[in-house]
Amino acid sequence: MTFGRYNGRGFILGRYMQGIVQADKLYCERDDRVLFEQLSFAVESGEILHIKGPNGAGKTTLLRRIVGLSWVVDGTITWGADFSADGQQPDGQRFWYLAHRPAVTLQLTPLENLAFSVALHNADVDESLLWQALDTVGLRGYEDVPSGSLSAGQQRRVALSKLYLDLPDVRLWVLDEPFTALDVSAVAQLEKRIEAFADTGGSVIMTSHHGLNHTAVRELQIGVRP
């Protein structure tokens, strides 16, 4: 079922169904300002949920709630059976989360950062695949330098490199402004990568001020009166 409705704070557009993750009646207030209320949506396998809204609308807050890093959002989030046996928050091994600021340790090299991400996922990945992922995001020759000496766009690429590892357990990407600081070709490459992931049944929940044009994309607008 497709629906679109205005909830007093934001316009919701989407399909309301049992998905891999379903959010019901989310409510968030910060400093006496209601960011969103009665916000409900679901994400299915193969879908890209593009959360849109102006600065300060609560997009990052919403993503942090989805991945279990913030509890300032009231309401219910239920996870599908593929992610969690009891519908509760799955452990972080089941998804990749890319925060608003790239979580790159500046003292570590890109290779070490990527290996650390993989270790947190308890994944067994051959080191050659880590080199390959870094090569794919354009970091060939930079694998062994401290990440703190890289540019903002290169540090973003370090954070993005994990999206090229194809870990079988990871079927959801939660991406907060992933295009920030990327040059034109890197933006195009990431767009293709996100679409390819959705085409293989992966799901993506992302925020971006950058438009995405793919049949799998659904938009969820928050914080804007129509």
Ligand X SMILES: Nc1ncnc2c1ncn2[C@@H]1O[C@H](COP(=O)(O)OP(=O)(O)OP(=O)(O)O)[C@@H](O)[C@H]1O
The nearer residue to ligand X, 63 or 165, going by C-beta atoms, is 63
Query: By C-alpha distance, which of 8, 10, 72, 16 is closest to 40?
Result: 16
Query: Shortest gap between Cβ of 221 and ligand X (angstroms)?
Result: 11
Give the residues lining the site for ligand X (CB under 6 A).
30-31, 35, 53, 55-61
Residues 6+ apart with CB under 8 A from 48: 194, 195, 198, 203, 204, 206, 212, 214, 216, 217, 218
Q: 80 to each of 13, 17, 90, 124, how far by Cα in Å?
A: 21, 11, 10, 25
Minimum CB–partner distance for residue 71 and ligand X (Å): 12
Cβ-based nearer residue to ligand X, 15 or 100: 100
Q: Please, are residues 42 and 16 in contact by the beta-carbon 8 Å criterion?
A: yes
Give me Rg for the CA atoms of the chain.
18
Minimum distance between the CB of residue 31 and ligand X, rounded to whole angstroms?
6
Q: Kindly report the number of other CB atoms within 10 A of residue 19's CB atom.
A: 20
Query: How big is the CA angle at 200 (ends 195 and 203), to the nearest 5 degrees?
Result: 65
Contact present, 188 and 17 (Cβ < 8 Å): no
- Give the DSSP H or E segment for 131: helix 127-136
Q: CB of residue 220 vs ligand X: minimum separation in angstroms?
A: 12
**Distance between CA atoms of residues 35 and 10, nearest Å:** 9
What minimum distance in Å lies between the beta carbon of 216 and ligand X? 23
User: With DSSP H G I counted as helix, E B as strand and the rest as coil, what are the percentages for the chain, rounded to 5?
Assistant: 30, 25, 45
Shorter beta-carbon distance to ligand X: residue 69 or 120:
69
Residue with Cβ nearer ligand X (56 or 211): 56
Is the CB of 55 or the CB of 128 nearer to ligand X? 55
In the complex, the smallest distance separating the C-beta of residue 52 from ligand X, rounded to whole angstroms, is: 9
**Cβ closer to ligand X: 140 or 209?**
209
